[in-house]
Amino acid sequence: MTHKQMKKTLFFVALAAAFTFTACSENGTENTQATTAQQQEMAHGDLAQEQMSTEVVVETPDYTHVAEPLKTQVSELVDAYLQLKDALVASDAGAAQTAAQNVVTIAQAMPVATLTTDEKAYAEEKTAAVVNSATQIAAAGGLEAQRRHLEPLAESVFAMAKAFDATDQTLYYQHCPMAHNDQGAYWLSTNEEIRNPYFGESMLKCGSTAEVYKQ
């Protein structure tokens, strides 16, 4: 293990959430979910965090030795993604479109040419995934379609931030089991407190933290 690696500390937390699923799963739309979500939150408050175990949800290689220009660009990408995520939390489709376009611009300017071999291939793969997902969000006409493309974007941004050690922020990789018709989906946040981008105000606190990345 290198000295650089030893300076990094990863804390991975899988939090078992105590849900009563019946009230939420019976609803087919976000509008009807609003009432049941409020009832759920009143009954349970913040999600239970009783059982804790270490887990790595997003596996990444160690490319922490790459030059600063790439790290800086990835850090800017994280910030742009967070603006997009916050727009979806606020259920603001227009702001989400604008933020998604900014994500595309930053990703397309990624200085992958400064990398070599495996690092370059990895950065190109993740950057392409970011551009694809963000382009879909920017082109989407409504919140439902925008939210459908958030998870692959979050995964790619999180993977790049970890692999290239490109953030000074604590990153929380969070999960909502009820997103996408109970299929579940992840998102990335710098806020430990759950603010669900898949439901917004209708189920703001639905979810739990699955992995934490700290410097």
Helix or strand run (H / E) with residue 52: strand 52-53
Give residue 215's pLDDT.
63
Q: What is the dihedral angle through the alpha carbons of 42, 45, 47, 49, rounded to the nearest 10 degrees?
A: -140
Give residue 40's pLDDT.
45
Give residue 6's pLDDT.
36
The alpha carbon of 157 is separated from its chain's Cα centroid by a whole number of angstroms, namely 7
Residue owning tokens 């970890």: 162
Provide the residue-wise pLDDT of the chain in tens; the chain has 215 residues: 443 433 343 333 333 333 324 323 333 344 344 444 444 443 333 433 333 335 889 999 999 999 889 999 999 999 999 999 999 999 999 999 999 999 999 999 999 988 988 999 999 999 999 999 999 999 998 999 999 999 999 999 999 999 999 999 999 999 999 999 999 999 999 999 999 999 999 999 999 999 999 86
What's the CA gap between 156 and 43, in Å, rounded?
Answer: 35
CB 7 within 8 A of CB 41: no
Among 15, 159, 147, 172, smallest CA distance to 89 is for: 147
Give residue 3's pLDDT.
38
What's the CA gap between 122 and 199, in Å, rounded?
Answer: 32
